[in-house]
Structure 1
């Protein structure tokens, strides 16, 4: 029964990733039909991110009241409804309206499942769960590409993913007895850490550096996910239906990289894993910066995904080491808020740059974020080592 429930959780994380890259893959084919500038994808992305922030902040209360199993099933059902709403939208304001439940559903299931796995399963499963998310995020653009290539249109791409989410909702409802046996069908138990306010977290040495790293990482990941397809179409002249599938190479890199990083962590500590990821990401962005043609651009997206793969899970895993186990829960909450803020703001900001300056600045924008992230991570490591020496 335990293994069956774990399989359900893994499938849930695949489902969580399916919608994440759809907008970026479909937008080159969508915005013209709505009569809006290409930059307006940033508005939708921002609404989704804001909904994710709100639902994540409420996830602890919802989980205590309903349990992880019910929260997950309800969240996936809300996401399915939002995706179907996207598929029938005939105006931009309708997309904005459906973006609200889109974000609300994603935030609750993400936070609730991560917490549940941390409480009930070994740490290696956390890394591989994020690999499952990458599978979903890779398959989503591929399905959209098939819909566009087959002349079914982006509407059918969204509708197909909505159907998959509906099927998962049914499976989650059937699995509710398994969650109850494991303690996830009702109120959760867990260890208590020090209760810190936002101000208390910010006063911890290294907290600002950590928040900045999370902000920049999610800014990079979401900007690539949202704008890579548009960059390939508008700057390199690749057909939109082809670019939708090519953009999925980034998430394929994340998927493969996270699967491998689960084994690499047996030999490398978290700091070295993050350094390795930053180096590979820098190599991918260097290929994008150089005028080497379409083939190298696709390789660059794959490398960027491989580089991103170990950064986020290893940053989360190292939080108790940096700040102490008694502060880790409060710090991780603020880190997640910073991550969603990066998701919310920075792709939107690049949309303004693409619309008013040039989409060709895509790799430059990402390189600046990478440089800030690398500098702040070095500072975090330095402050953490100093704290350990003082202790």
Structure 2
């Protein structure tokens, strides 16, 4: 397979395939934690809200590497950065399974975050510069494939071997295999190819971070990603615990329901890629947020067990196109001049949202009840819709000013 990719007559297609595989690998670890957390915390004898420490460690690494995205790409190149990112992530995931103490797992979370942040920001910048909205949706659909597989792997490990470690062994091994694959295909990433045509304008600017941070539209754009990823991660992390510990759903069914969230999420992104050009990013975002609010309302209502399945699947389907559409629309919101810097900052913000919002919900749940989580999710989605409406309103003015 590697040899075929290296000799490919169409390097553009080969790079797309590698990018998709990388995002499958990126999503798999994210899908493990929600299902594995009850068993993992029992093994290490830590409280429910200790999840916040692991998420915070991950965000430190993730935010650092994504914020330094431009520097890393310039010094390492895309191929080397992907290979090293997969290597770091794989070693950290395998390390979770052999760490004797909780603080060591938290420390390894920083390493895993460094790897995830570099691959996420690097590929998003690469695709935003060279490809269109359709491939951006499908790239993130690949992440959805990975995060759908994650809960199923963890559920199988718990059911068949009564161990959360099996899931991390499998996914860690997959990451290490990816690292080898990227190391031996470096020439595909480093060798220029005319298949891309000319680079788009957003990568031609060299605007300072200071000037970028003085733009209100940039801060709104950063906030969008913090809120969105926080909400997306929160339901993925807490759905299994909510269903099993608060609503007395059987563990096997709860694992399948959690998996259905990511499955519908993946289906939604595949479908969005088909209609992205015709429908437009704005409609995808608005429609997705309305669907998410409706699904969260059903989760709060909870008239029957089946309603949980329907609500979580609906939320997954509704939010699917939001992240790629927001990413593709970055230049429209902030202007070409500030887009490249903003993309890195947006990815750094996702790390903060990934840790702060789920961890905050965990603190609320430990002090009140797990049933507070759907209410908190509703608030976050409502805030996200409000911020989005503010972010898109002045976009025409910003574009005119930044194009001078």
TM-score for the superposition, normalised by structure 2: 0.89
Please give the alpha-carbon distance, in whole angstroms, between the structure 2 residues aligned to 1:105 and 1:203. 29
Match of 2:91 in 1: 81
Instruction: Name the counterpart of 2:205.
Output: 193
* 1:134 to 2:147 alignment: no
Q: Is the 8 A contact 1:205 1:383 kept in 2?
A: no
3-state secondary structure, aligned to 2:248? coil
Equivalent position of 2:163 in the other structure: 153
1:17 equivalent to 2:27? Answer yes
Residues in 2 aligned to 1:100 and 1:129: alpha-carbon distance in whole angstroms: 25
Distance 1:100 1:208, change over 3 A: closer
* Superimposed CA distance per residue, residues 127-161 of structure 1 (whole angstroms, 9 cap, x where no aligned partner): 21100000001001111111111134101111111
Partner SS, residue 36 of structure 1: coil
Indicate conservation of the 8 Å contact 1:25/1:245, yes or no.
Answer: no
> Are the aligned partners of 2:134 and 2:276 in contact in 1 as well (CA < 8 Å)?
no
Q: Distance in 1 between matches of 2:15 and 2:108?
A: 31
- Change in Cα spacing, 1:334 to 1:115, as seen in structure 2 (3 Å) is closer
| Structure 2: 5+ residue stretches without partners | 1-7, 194-198
User: SS where residue 267 of structure 1 aligns?
Assistant: helix
> Partner residue of 1:174?
184
For residue 265 of structure 1, give the secondary structure of its aligned residue in structure 2: helix
In terms of mean alpha carbon deviation, does 230-239 or 139-148 score higher?
230-239
Q: What SS class does the counterpart of residue 279 from structure 2 fall into?
A: coil
1:30-56 alpha-carbon deviations (Å, 9 max, x no partner): 212211111111210111111100111
Aligned counterpart, 1:355: 366
Q: How far apart, CA to CA, are the structure 2 residues paired with 1:328 and 1:117?
A: 13
Instruction: Say which of 336, 339, 342 aligns to 2:347.
Output: 336
Inter-partner Cα distance in structure 1 for 2:131 and 2:386: 33
The equivalent of 1:7 in structure 2 is 17
Does the C-alpha gap of structure 1 residues 389 and 72 become closer, same or farther in structure 2, counting only changes over 3 Å?
closer
Unaligned runs of 5+ in 1: 184-188
Task: Compute the RMSD of aligned alpha carbons.
Answer: 2.1
Give the TM-score of the pair, scaled to structure 1: 0.92
Distance 2:337 2:70 in 1: 18
Aligned length: 385
Comparing 71-80 and 340-349, the one that deviates more:
340-349
